[in-house]
Structure 1
Amino acid sequence: MVIKVLLLVAGYGTRLQQDLRASPSHHHLLGVPKALLPLGQEDALITYWLDLFKASGIPASDIYLVTNAASYSVFVSWANRHQVPLVNVFNDGTMSNEDRLGAVPDINLAVKHFGLGQDSVLVVGGDTLFLKDFVFNNFFQTAKTHPNRSLVTVYSVPDEDVSKVGIIETNSKGVVTSFLEKPEPSETSSRYACPCFYLFVPNALSLLDAFIDESKGKPKEEVDATGKFLAYLFPRCPVGTFPISGRIDVGGLSSYLQADVYYKSM
């Protein structure tokens, strides 16, 4: 199995930018996309992923980015510094959070633009971070045992967080059987949340158009949350799960600073 990586970096990080404006000591980070925030010893959050993927045998030529027009030039600069081909950076044409396309349309556009429809594509959110014990090669080996099955990571959340996230239910073999959007803890025995780290096989990618078509006329949130596509996908194509110990959320300034300290300790 050959994996192509798509870094989803077209978001605008509005909450983080609000926090930065309110913190004079961090004004030097104003306007920096989340994915390009310095992290630990790396120049950018996504450099952590780039190094991990390259160490696992995925060449820089198989790593792609979809970003927005407002941040396109800074992602091109990042790609240039790290020997990622500049043609692998796709601009979705949007200039603000108000006219954003949404995560799922961005994935679809990038898959078509780069001609990845017949590949297995690992979609990674630009602010996705895992705990230091995550071993990508184990994820990769699990994927190879079921080459026709998409694979997502899951981690356990405490009861008080169940109603804040999408929850995945699985069968005894770890295959997704249900996706619940921010349920009450009493509604499910599952505590599996699912971060934006999805390996989509070609059969799954082929359903992106249909999902987007069926979402027309609905609030933008229907196509901006990648979990909505998972909910659409699992009844139509098998989706396996790969448990991890946890993730680090980089939503606002406080969580970013905590993540930076954590990664400096690695």
Structure 2
Amino acid sequence: MNLGLDGKRALVLGASKGLGAAIAVALANEGARVIGAARSVEAIAALIGQVEPALGGTIEALPLDLADPASVEALIATIAARDGCDILVNNSGGPPPGEAATLPAQDYAKAFATMVAPLMAITQSVLPGMRGRKWGRIVTLTSSGVEAPIPRLAISNALRQSLVGWSKTLASEVAADNVTVNVVVQGRIQTDRVDELDAAAARRLGKSIEEVRTQSLATIPAGRYGKAEELASYVAFLASERAAYTTGSLIRIDGGMIKSI
């Protein structure tokens, strides 16, 4: 299937590793010209080795620290000078674990300034160009905690939900301009972040990491953690011409883990 991404300009946040890196490679292998943004530009630059030269896609690295407003503004200015982008993939790291009953309010405010506000600002900066060209794709990655809150991830559960509500509102505002806005809900995808959470759970429960993972796998009908490439392939589809009539959607990539309909 030709996804119609040849020559499309994509901006992928958090592209140095994990899901962001896999998405950057997937888009480039569909012919897109990808800018990967993260703190480690060296790691992003190394991804070009995973791109098939014959497919015409490229990956370029730009520095971005979502916790640094100056860095966010610098990225916005650079992308604006290049006449924006056609595809934006919003991907941010997760906050540390903590319980809702004890976390101070300032911890939520600090996390919002890092994992929510910058994504909104970057999105708003590229929207005028997308709307003017009558073509745009915005895909935001989020956690399964927005549908089934995860114990001891109070900040993540709360703040990621705000991105879901914002995305749904935005989708209605820009749909007539052929700009789609969707949210991908990731289940247990094998990444460094999941490894960190499994290790933290093992320490807290006094169990081995293997025991924690065995218990986790028992909750997933597919019987395994997902692969980053599997999620990346679906994001590439959502970013494509083929997905033009899908917007305002919350789409699960979770191996059946979330129990609700």
Higher helix share: 2
Higher strand share: 1
**Which of the five TM-score ranges fits, normalised by the shorter chain?**
0.3 to 0.5
Q: Report the TM-score when normalising by structure 1.
A: 0.37
Q: Report the TM-score when normalising by structure 2.
A: 0.37
